[in-house]
Amino acid sequence: MSALKIKNLTKTYANGFQALKGIDLDVDIGGFYSLLGPNGAGKTTAIGAVCSLVEITSGSIEIFNHDITVNSEAAKKHLGVVPQEVNFNTFDTPLNILVNQAGFYGIRRNIAMQRAKKYLGELKLWEKKDDIARSLSGGMKRRLMIARALMHEPQLLILDEPTAGVDIEIRRSMWQFLNDLNNDGTTIILTTHYLEEAENLCRNVAIIDDGLIIEDTLMSDLLRQLKQETFVLNIEEKSMKDLNLAGYNFIVRDEKTLEVVVDSEHGINELFDLLNSQNIKVVSLRNKSNRLEELFMKLIDAKNFDKKVTS
């Protein structure tokens, strides 16, 4: 059984725009999936279809073996959604928003109150429970939407850009929260534009572009496809005049900074050996850009190139 199984899903809007051109996706129970893609690729439409907010044109969607059109009540019970846009009643209080949401799932008020206390507490919103929701900060609103999605304790949680526009401190605390949730058994699907977020959190990745899934694999396998990585090395101050890094493309940025392109044939250990042999000590190193970002751009560029060639 899968947490989510999408088969040949298509969606054509009334104006003729084909947002989804036949996507297949199989999300294992307990998985942590990222669904990536450029703006307008079809991510939000796909999520909308899973939540039954978008009428599908053809194909099927099953949530924990329940088809969303045939057995929508059972399917919906398993699903929690955190949308991209703030969509709660901003004139209501966080406590009411959560308790009402639980009510829509048939959860009794006394249980709903306990859960609201739990999730508002865990997401550091308990102090704000009686404030008018519109007065909350952007980060608080995002956390409130996460708490709302958890009120019926779904087994599958879909988050559409949950950390968009929130500061790094809150983003990291949200990562920790989502990780804990996944470790407790909740299957999570995440869309994000922060590829570092996807790389850190997710074990699987699907890339959607122009209404089609162009990659669906393990995050580790995808990252292994990266044949070259550019590292930025901070080194102890030294003259680089006679630097010899045969087999590597490199740029000396200044007397303390070196940029080296490392391919999978040579590897980083060889580079360290070479630097050691010339008595150059590395203080620290980092990727010049996010690895997933590089791959993502390559895949999207390749797709666009194919499209141009075909046309």
Partner 1 sequence: MNISLNLIAFYTIVRKEVLRVIRIWIQTIVPPAITMTLYFVIFGNLIGTRIGVMGGYSYMQFIAPGIIMMSVITNSYGNVVSSFFGAKYGGHIDEMLISPMSNATIILGHIAGGVLRGLMVGGMVTIIALSFTNLELKFPLITFSMVLLSSIVFALAGFINALFAKKFDDIAIIPTFVITPLTYLGGVFYSINLLPEFWQSASKFNPILYMVNAFRYGILGTSDIQINYAYIVVITFVIILFSLSLILLNRGIGIRD
Cβ neighbours of residue 301 closer than 8 Å, sequence gap 6 or more: none
Stretch that binds partner 1, among 22-30, 95-103, 168-176, 240-248 (CB under 8 A): 95-103
Stretch that binds partner 1, among 23-31, 79-87, 196-204, 245-253 (CB under 8 A): 79-87
| Residue 109, Cβ density class (10 Å: 0-12 exposed, 13-18 middle, ≥19 buried) | exposed
76 contacts partner 1 (rule: CB under 8 A): yes
Q: Among residues 211, 174, 204, which one has the least CA distance to residue 189?
A: 204
- Out of 10, 52, 179, 217, point to the residue binding partner 1 (CB under 8 A): 52
How many residues appear in the chain? 311
86 contacts partner 1 (rule: CB under 8 A): yes
59 contacts partner 1 (rule: CB under 8 A): no
211 contacts partner 1 (rule: CB under 8 A): no
When the beta carbons of 15 and 39 are compared against partner 1, the nearer one is 15
65 contacts partner 1 (rule: CB under 8 A): no
Strand partners, 4: 27, 63
- Out of 58, 69, 89, 114, point to the residue binding partner 1 (CB under 8 A): 89
6 contacts partner 1 (rule: CB under 8 A): no
175 contacts partner 1 (rule: CB under 8 A): no
The type of residue at 32 is F
DSSP string, 58-125: EEEEEETTEETTTSHHHHHHTEEEE-SS--S-TTS-HHHHHHHHHHHTT--HHHHHHHHHHHHHHTT-
DSSP string, 2-45: EEEEEEEEEEE-TTS-EEEEEEEEEEETT-EEEEE--TTSSHHH
Q: Could you give the count of Cα atoms lying within 13 Å of 150 in the half-sphere of its Cβ?
A: 26
292 contacts partner 1 (rule: CB under 8 A): no
42 contacts partner 1 (rule: CB under 8 A): no
* Minimum gap (Å) between residue 258 Cβ and partner 1: 50
Give the Cα-Cα-Cα angle 213, 214, 218 (nearest 5 degrees): 90
- Out of 4, 9, 79, 189, point to the residue binding partner 1 (CB under 8 A): 79
162 contacts partner 1 (rule: CB under 8 A): no
When the beta carbons of 69 and 249 are compared against partner 1, the nearer one is 69
- Out of 18, 60, 100, 290, point to the residue binding partner 1 (CB under 8 A): 100
Q: Among residues 65, 79, 76, 59, which one has the least CA distance to residue 160?
A: 79
Task: Point out which residues bind partner 1 (CB under 8 A).
Answer: 13, 45, 48, 51-55, 72-74, 76-77, 79, 81, 83, 85-90, 96, 100-101, 103-108, 148
